[in-house]
Structure 1
Amino acid sequence: MQMRVQIAATTTPTTATPITATPVTDTRPAGLTARAVALPLLAAALLVAAPVRGQEAITSHGISAFGELKYGPEFPYFDYVNPDAPKGGRMTFRGTGASATFDSLNPFILKGEPAQGLGLLYDSLLVGSADEPDSAYGLIAERLEYPEDRSWVIFHMNPEATFSDGEPIEASDVVFTYNVLLEKGHPAYKISYKDFETVEALDTYKVKFTFRQDAAKRELIQQAGGISILPEHYYQDVDFAESTLTPPVGSGGFLVEEAKPGRSITYCRNPDYWAWDHPVNVGANNFDCYTYEYFADYTAAFEAFKGGSYLLHEEFFSKLWATGYDFPAIDEGWVVKESVPDNRPSGTQGFWINMRRDKFQDPRVREAIGLMFNFEWSNQTLFYGIYQRTDSFWENSPMQAEGLPEGAELELLQEFHDELPESIFSEPVYTPPVNQPSRTDRAAVRKASRLLDEAGWTLQGGVRKNAQGQTLTLEILDDSASFERVFNPYVENLKRIGIDARLSLIDAAQYQQRQEDFDYDMIPGRLVMSLTPGLELRQIFGSDSAKEPGTANFSGVSDPVIDALLEKAVAAGSREDLEVAVRALDRVLRSMHIWVPNWYKGEHNLAYWDVFSKPAEKPLYSRGDAYWWWDEDKYRALKADGAPLP
């Protein structure tokens, strides 16, 4: 069971859309939202003996945050694709979002609810592979040139690259994109690009990014290379700051074929796209069209899937996965049900407490609130025992803090010894206690009550009040009834310790606005964390993002030690140093009790109509369906057998 408020906290490069969130429930598929279209990057570097600013310039077909690139300059395609995969057919998904519809085809601004799949419309200078965690290869950029200290980068653009209307993609378009995103785009761009000093067109097909001298530069080239390129000529007559349902001119290989808010959106292949045979595209995006079908709720969507209305479904309801897949299409063998491994950090899912509110400033209050969620009862009673408890923000990865700090992690934390609680050094990292699998664990009640007493919230007439007579209230905000079975027992447990708790279900538009404005006590949310955490951490845990509307800083973390530790991660010069810094960050964040951690399962539960073929092996860091293809023989066989497919 996963929540609908989720974002892809993928690192370099992020596309022009910033990492943001839309509220969470049990229904959003793991992966990328319309405002978080991000790709991991790949690259390799070749030294060229051309002195630049006193340094040798590195010229390459790509770049990696750490180590060597897997693929050389002349690689024909990525290893995990079928280069001979036929093109054609269609792929259909369930559309998700903050509401059961969309009202915008502009994913780059805060205004409006963007449609799913808009990343298909845009290309970037660099793109990533799905079998390396921190590298990028050229797409619009033929090659890149940069000094060893990565203080700047020059992208040499492919003169053959064009926008969807046939106009050439030029350096001036890159400069325009950067400027318009900062001036009119989502507020999170100011955080994402704060280390960019200048962006300038050196000539028609050469663009230079220069970075701030004091910035950590490990990821900045990938960050620049990941910007989705927008057409300057198009926005001379179109207001970029407004949401719109007019299909825009893009830089990618697909066009909006049809957009029906509340029903569906379809993207189809642009036959004139210049890069279909580019090595990074070979064997990918094999369908002629991609459609996202929208439904009023999850139940309606699942019933439609069973009837063949859309073809690929990822299941997040554990009860349904355990008991709901006994419909005729399964029995006939028309629908395939399988679990595939997810090798990314998993489980950054929880109920996020809004520390911007005075009543939640004391960590003892937040810890008490967390103690009242009985995962063991929920897992046994509601989830059929298929989940494990989350305790880390980087669950199931080498970046998860364990036990007492030691070695390099301890040395790093010692730099902040006077600013951290002594428990960071003397006690194992905080892990939620294992509760008795009864709805209310008495030991948890006793400890939570003691914490609230110590924080000055005493029981008065069965309700917690402070010295000023204010009642401790907690409103859990959501826009879907699908999570009620989880929240209602939790609310009852909170009431047992005197907290005036309630679940408020509101419509999707209200929810989106309140989440963007941080107008809540608690919301559920899920983050898909990066394999190589870096610049995106500023949007999730950085002080600058705590007050910027629409960022992923759900809890309003604004702490100088957290800021310093995340900058250590951003500046790490090796993967070992990165893991040390993130473990330290994880340890300190967990001590703050900013969320009530939920559960995880490191797999994708997929069901799909058996009309596809796919490569022999799934890519290491992807669900894999981006490399499937339409199998006409399978489709005809199912139709002949009576399958209710269009």
Structure 2
Amino acid sequence: MTDPISALLRRMRPVLAGVLIAAVAGQAQAAPDDIVTSYGFSTYAESGMKYPEGFAHLDYVNPDAPKGGEISVWAQGTFDSMNPFTRKGRAGNLSSIPYERLLSDVADDAYGAYCLLCETLEYPESQDWVIFTLRPEARFADGTPVTAGDVVFTVDLFLEQGLPSFAQAVKQLYEKVEALDERRVKFTFRQGVPRKGLISQAGATIVFPKHWFDETGARLDESRMEIPPGSGPYQLDSYDVNRRITYARNPDYWGWDLPINRGRFNFDRIRVEYFADANAAMEAFKAGVYTFREETSSLQWATAYEFPAAEKGWVRVTTLPDGNIPASTGFVFNLRRDKFADPRLREALSLMYNSEWTNETLQYGLFEQRSSYWENSDLAAQGIPEGAELALLQSLGDAIAPEILTGPAVLAHESGSRQMDRGNLRRASELLEQAGWIVGDDGMLRKDGKTLDIEFLAYNPSFDRIIQPYVSNLQRLGVNAVYNRVDPAQYTNLERDHQFDMVYDGYQNGPEEALGISQRFGSEDAEYSLFNPAGYSSEAVDTLIERLIDARTLDEMKIAIRAIDRVLRQARLMVPTWYKANYWIAYWDMFGHPETLPPYSLGQLDFWWYDAEKAGALRAAGALR
């Protein structure tokens, strides 16, 4: 499982990206005064929305899935808060689960979103404003109605006390947010701000109960264990700090009968068990302490899943396809630090990471090497630019390196079968010499009398075996490289405050981009954005982002993304590492899932279900307590 802050940031990617903007022709009705009223959005008319108004249920769910039982997962480290929306403390896993948004995306429609808390939305063709009409039946878990006043309060709360990288960006977008009556809330957008992404931004608003904050005096920016009731199907049930958290399905949830919710949220309970390290978690899974495990470690996947319960068929071990664009992860340079300013230095440091040796020797050959920021999709730049993409890049003039126009998109470097590739070592030495770094008699690189000091910051012990060989290679190059593994809470604070040289992190990009891409790669937000761990900024990318936001068709958007991809890859703001195009999962054979999974979600906590008959058979066999 992913820690809740990271999960929140990933969810904010489509929020800020404005995945869904204009209602599609034929799926929304324009009134005589040119006001569009619709049940959902799709950015580009040619992409359409998959589900028509009045659909019965999502295609990928089992609408008759049984309700009941429990699924349990694991998390690593500790937690000292159940508030995932503050920078203080380390929030409990899944702690944002009780809260809903005005609009919801679905797992088989990359370009569509649908009303959830709202029943309709309306806006002029100019998209200067949008009005959401809330569902009259929408309720918080304490029984109080969800009102337009709650929406206004929540927006103001996030703008005043929310994550700075979010609040600073969003407050520039809204002129005002006002409750027109109990059920209608209007977002008016600032003049001069591109309209693409704004309605989607508003629709992705999480809604809190104003009365709870008024009664408790709680703040969004404080670490605390007490949380407001949400309007979602699951609410916090209990917790034992640093040991477990349990969320319970709300039998009185207001939205059970919505078509978008049929066949979903089937478990009575979702339990999270905490462990200090991955090895302890694996042993606990084997013993049935928790029942579902999504594996990310190639070491564990290759070596840890032959145990008695699996051999007897009590535990299912399998792979399932993952159609998402993989996160563009790697060893990220903190470009806010002057020592990383020269791209020749960054390329040299990248050459010391041996991806082939790492994959074959340490990762059992289970991964593929990533090059693109939109890997495994048609958004990845390929070969030499041509046609409209070339013309777009040519319009940037001297803002980009000329080789971007004439050469193929930068690929991850190749390495040999030994940990230290001597050819890459020579090339890296040449680049560093060109950048003014000279090796002294002691074998250390120096520039202006200072050594090249680099600290790798991490918290996960499973990364030791990956990072240490890379650090060793850098040391042979003459870099004063060290590896510092800290506790998870300290790591969270240091990374949020950008107090690091290099970390293993990345960028979560998607099949459609708009305003939110500025949070990840734009210059204006680079200094403080939590979405941009490298602190990358570029005049060329800023211009390309403007072209992307102005795109009127899906093809224009894709061309702009491919151009951005080329510039990012040329900039070498991180050392790209591995990805995989499927899920590695293991679970005690007591769950069911649809035969065909949607492309954009595994859905184990969403549309899987508890099979009471299978669970009974496991208990009868003595497999589970």
**TM-score, normalisation: structure 1:** 0.91
Does residue 328 (structure 1) correspond to residue 305 (structure 2)? The answer is no
SS of 1:146's equivalent in the other structure is strand
CA distance in 1, matches of 2:508, 2:14: 13
Distance 1:189 1:5, change over 3 A: closer
Report the counterpart of residue 576 of structure 2 in structure 1: 597
Contact kept, 8 Å, 2:4 with 2:94, in 1: the verdict is no
1:399 maps to: 379
How far apart, CA to CA, are the structure 2 residues paired with 1:612 and 1:44? 38
1:458 to 1:13, Cα distance in 2 relative to 1, 3 A: closer
Q: Counterparts of 2:435 and 2:23 in 1: how far apart (Å)?
A: 52
Residue 503 in 1 paired to residue 480 in 2? no
Q: In 2, Cα distance between the equivalents of 1:309 and 1:408?
A: 56
* 1:347 CA displacement: 4.8
Contact 1:394–1:529 (8 Å) recurs in 2: yes
One-letter identity of the residue aligned with 1:182: L
Contact 2:368–2:579, Cα closer than 8 Å, also in 1: yes
3-state SS, counterpart of residue 84 of structure 2: coil
1:452 lines up with 2:429 in the alignment: no
In the TM superposition, what is the alpha-carbon distance from 1:10 to its structure 2 partner? 5.3
Structure-2 separation of matches of 1:506 and 1:459? 31
Contact 1:171–1:206 (Cα < 8 Å) also in 2: yes
Q: Of the candidates 219, 222, 233, which is equivalent to residue 211 of structure 2?
A: 233
Closer, same or farther in 2 for the Cα pair 1:538/1:230, shift >3 Å? same
Aligned to 1:201: 179
1:369 to 349, 354, 369: 349
Instruction: Please state how far the C-alpha of 1:215 moved relative to its aligned partner.
Output: 2.5
- Change in CA separation of 1:632 and 1:638 when aligned onto 2, cut-off 3 Å: same
> Residues 251 and 192 of structure 1: is their aligned pair in 2 closer, same or farther, counting only changes over 3 Å?
farther
Q: How does 1:419-434 map to 2 (within 5 A)?
A: 419-434=399-414
**Is 1:151 matched with 2:128?**
yes
Report the counterpart of residue 501 of structure 2 in structure 1: 521
- Sort the Cα spacing of 1:65 and 1:587 in 2 relative to 1 into closer, same or farther, 3 A: same
- After superposition, where does 1:137-216 map in structure 2 within 5 Å? 137-193=114-170, 194-216=172-194
Choose the corresponding residue for 2:525, options 545, 550, 570: 545
Distance (Å, rounded) in 1 between the aligned partners of 2:98 and 2:23? 23
Partner residue, 1:131: 108
Counterpart of 2:597 in structure 1 is 618
Quick one: distance in 2 between partners of 1:12 and 1:74? Answer: 28
Displacement, 1:6? 5.4
Matched with 2:49 is 69
Residue 80 of structure 1: aligned partner: 60
Structure 1 pair 190–478 and aligned structure 2 pair: CA distance change class (3 A) = same
SS at match of 1:518: coil
Q: CA distance change for structure 1 residues 501 and 363 in 2, over 3 Å: closer, same or farther?
A: same
Cα pair 1:368 1:448 within 8 Å, conserved? yes
After superposing the two structures, state which structure 1 stretch, 192-201 or 5-14, moved more: 5-14
User: Over residues 5-40 of structure 1, what are the superposed CA-to-partner deviations in whole Å (9 max), with x where a residue is unaligned?
Assistant: 95576578856xx89xxxxxxxxxxxxxxxxxx999
Report the CA distance shift for 1:436/1:384 in structure 2 as closer, same or farther (over 3 A).
same
State how far apart, in whole Å, the 2-side matches of 1:173 and 1:285 are: 24
The corresponding residue for 2:78 is 101
**Equivalent in 367, 384, 388 of residue 364 of structure 2:** 384
Partner of 2:514: 534
Q: Indicate the residue corresponding to 1:292 in structure 2.
A: 272
User: Counterpart amino acid of 2:217?
Assistant: V
Q: Distance in 2 between matches of 1:344 and 1:330?
A: 28
Query: What secondary structure sits across from 1:294 in the alignment?
Result: strand
Aligned to 2:548: 569
AA aligned opposite 1:267: Y
2:29 to 28, 38, 48: 48
- 2:4–2:92 Cα contact (<8 Å) kept: no
Give yes or no for the alignment of 1:58 onto 2:36.
yes
Q: Percent of aligned pairs with the same residue?
A: 42
Aligned-partner Cα distance in 2 for 1:3–1:502: 26
Compute the RMSD of aligned alpha carbons.
Answer: 2.3
Aligned length: 618
Deviation readout 1:331-386 (Å, 9 max, x if unpaired): 11001111111111125110001111111100000000000000111111111111
Report the CA distance shift for 1:383/1:353 in structure 2 as closer, same or farther (over 3 A).
same
Alpha-carbon separation, structure 2, partners of 1:89 and 1:520: 44
Deviations 1:428-481 (A, max 9, x none): 221122111111111101110000000001111244444420111111111122
Structure-2 change in CA distance of 1:333 and 1:408 (3 Å): same
Q: Distance in 1 between matches of 2:468 and 2:280?
A: 23
* SS at 2:151 equivalent: helix
Amino acid at match of 1:367: E
2:158 is matched by which residue type in structure 1? L
Task: Give the drift of 1:289.
Answer: 0.9
- Counterpart CA distance in 1 for 2:274 and 2:59 is 34
The answer to whether the 8 A contact 2:332-2:575 is kept is yes
Q: Which amino acid aligns with 1:163?
A: F
Moved more, 404-413 or 354-363: 404-413
The answer for unaligned runs of 5 or more in structure 1 is 20-37
Unaligned runs of at least 5 residues, structure 2: none
Letter in 1 for 2:597: K
- After alignment, is 102-111 or 564-573 more displaced? 564-573
What corresponds to 1:122 in structure 2?
99
1:50 partner amino acid: A
Say which is worse superposed, 462-471 or 571-580, in terms of deviation: 462-471
Q: Contact 2:521–2:537 at 8 Å: present in 1 too?
A: yes
What is the alpha-carbon distance in structure 2 between the residues aligned to residue 460 and residue 570 of structure 1? 50
CA distance in 2, matches of 1:641, 1:250: 40
Q: Which residue of 1 aligns with 2:235?
A: 255
Q: Deviations over 1:185-228 (max 9, x none)?
A: 11122255232222111111111112233323232212211111
- 1:84 Cα offset (Å): 0.7
For the structure 1 residues 443 and 391, does the alpha-carbon distance in structure 2 shift closer, same or farther, using more than 3 Å as the test?
A: same
- Which secondary structure state, in structure 2, belongs to the residue aligned with residue 529 of structure 1? coil
8 A contact 2:326–2:508 mirrored in 1: yes
Question: AA paired with 2:183?
Answer: Y
Residue 423 (structure 1) shift: 1.5
Q: Which moved more, 1:131-140 or 1:112-121?
A: 112-121
**Matched-pair contact (CA < 8 Å) for 2:352–2:428:** yes
Counterparts in 2 of 1:369 and 1:421: CA distance versus 1, 3 Å: same
Q: Does 1:606 align with 2:589?
A: no
When residues 262 and 315 of structure 1 are mapped into structure 2, their CA distance, relative to the original with a 3 A threshold, is same
Task: Out of 535-544 and 275-284, give the one that drifted further.
Answer: 535-544
Match of 1:586 in 2: 565
